[in-house]
Amino acid sequence: MASTAAEITGLLQRWGTGDVSARDEIIPLMYEQLRELAHRRLQHAAGESSLNTTGLVHEAYMRLARGASPDLPDRAHFLALAAEVMRNLLVDRARARLAVKRGGGQMTVPIEEAISVPDANPQMVTELDDALERLEHFSPRQAQLLLHHFFGGLSLDESATALGISVATVKRELRSARAWLALELRGEPIR
**Does any domain span residue 108?**
no
State pTM to two decimals: 0.58
**Does any domain span residue 80?**
yes
Q: Any alpha helices (H) in the chain, and if so which ranges? A: 5-16, 20-43, 53-66, 75-101, 111-116, 122-138, 140-146, 156-163, 167-185
Which residue segment(s) compose the domain that 66 sits in? 5-101+122-185
Determine the residue type at 159: S
**Does any domain span residue 55?**
yes
* Cα–Cα distance for residue pair 68/71, rounded to 1 Å: 9
* Cα–Cα distance for residue pair 66/23, rounded to 1 Å: 11
**Does any domain span residue 41?**
yes
pLDDT tens for the 191 residues of the chain, in order: 446 888 889 999 999 898 888 988 888 888 888 888 888 777 766 565 667 888 888 888 888 888 888 888 888 888 888 888 888 888 888 777 776 665 554 444 332 333 233 334 567 667 777 888 888 888 999 988 888 877 677 888 888 888 889 999 999 999 888 888 878 877 554 54
**Does any domain span residue 58?**
yes
**Does any domain span residue 24?**
yes
**Does any domain span residue 110?**
no
Instruction: Report the domain count for the chain.
Output: 1
